[in-house]
Amino acid sequence: MKSFFLLLLLFIILIAGCTQDGGQSIITPSIKSEGLNIINFTTNFNTIRIQESTSLNLKLRNAGPFDSTNIKAVLYGYGLLIKQDLKNETEIILRDGKEDVLSWVLRAPVVLSQTESTQYTVNARVYYWYNFSGFKQIAFVPSNYIGDSPTVYSNVESGPLSVNIQTISPLRSLEGMGVNFSLTIEVNKDEVGSVNYYNDTLRSYHLNELRIIVPATWIPLDNLYAFNFITRGDEVEYKLNFDDLQEMYNNNTYSCPGSGLSNCDCTVSNSAQCVRISAAINNLWLIRGEKARLVMMFYHPDVTDPTIDVVQVKGNYGYEIDTKEFTGPLVITVRGD
């Protein structure tokens, strides 16, 4: 008899835990990105009737070394359901390890009473801004140097995008002449998602900004007309900024200086300045959404002893992730009358 009551109790518990109108929660157990992650996407009711409502909650966590900023989420796939934004953008900056929850309410309108039961597959896209940075030491040795190669170090702090700084080290000077060398900067997409911006398709698949900081003794051999640069002590920062470049591209002051033309911009001109501005914009573009690449040429003066210099690269960008890549969608069923 005792066994019978135990089995009956177990059956009641199972039935109580399987109500048709219960909430739906899809949770990912692991972190998929060094930037912003979607931890779970939940609803309190996954089945509703006409004029009933259900709430949706999207839990986010920043798992990377930089602050997540300008965070905004967009719900899609809810069809004829009426959406109310309770909180679809963060009110705080999400720092490393911090979490926030964005939420909505969906209501089934009367018009759906004329239809049979309908299912909606609901997802959310999340947009945010993030950074990357890295440094690399480069050794320069005199022409007659025969010792061991100087020890150099490098480091990268990244999120969905990481930076790779490439050059030869050590670099050997020609006696009394110094050395010319190339510096290659690659920014690679390493995580799920894509470089994208909320309500800004022009900037899609482009870095927002890229900054290269080198010693002031490095003399650029390229025409850096499209770069902004500033000297700080013994360093020079060369900067490409998407908004600045777009302004230059469409402004005759930059595009055709001294030309005397009253209506000149790069959409109608192929001036040398326009070519350089266009090339700089392309340096911010992630080819096939995966990689941006910039090559710069510099001259380093002659050295009489081994010297170690440091190059730093920093940047920021907008990024888009989707519940499809993390937790999967929520399925909301509306019962017809």
Residue 59 belongs to domain with CATH number: 2.60.40.10
Do 161 and 210 fall into the same domain? Answer: yes
Query: 78-115: per-residue pLDDT in tens?
Result: 999 999 999 998 878 999 889 999 999 999 998 877 77
Do 193 and 207 fall into the same domain? Answer: yes
- Residue 254 confidence (pLDDT): 60
| Domain membership flag for residue 7 | no
| Domain membership flag for residue 269 | yes
| Domain membership flag for residue 47 | yes
Structural domain range at position 41: 22-129+322-335
Q: Where are the beta strands (DSSP E) in 116-216?
A: 118-141, 154-157, 161-166, 171-172, 179-189, 194-195, 209-215
Query: 50-69: per-residue pLDDT in tens?
Result: 999 999 999 999 998 999 99
Q: Which residue has the higher pLDDT, 174 or 31?
A: 174
Mean pLDDT of 146-166: 93
- Residue 11 confidence (pLDDT): 44
Per-residue pLDDT for 22 more than 50? no
Helix or strand (DSSP H, E) at 6 = helix 2-16
Mean pLDDT of 183-209: 95
Per-residue pLDDT for 177 more than 70? yes
- Residue 264 confidence (pLDDT): 61
Do 213 and 230 fall into the same domain? Answer: yes
Do 195 and 218 fall into the same domain? Answer: yes
Do 27 and 59 fall into the same domain? Answer: yes
| Domain membership flag for residue 251 | yes
- Residue 114 confidence (pLDDT): 72
Per-residue pLDDT for 307 more than 60? yes
Number of domains in the chain: 2
| Domain membership flag for residue 137 | yes
Do 185 and 232 fall into the same domain? Answer: yes
Do 227 and 217 fall into the same domain? Answer: yes
- Residue 112 confidence (pLDDT): 78
Do 234 and 163 fall into the same domain? Answer: yes
Do 314 and 330 fall into the same domain? Answer: no
Task: For tokens 């022409």, name the residue.
Answer: 143
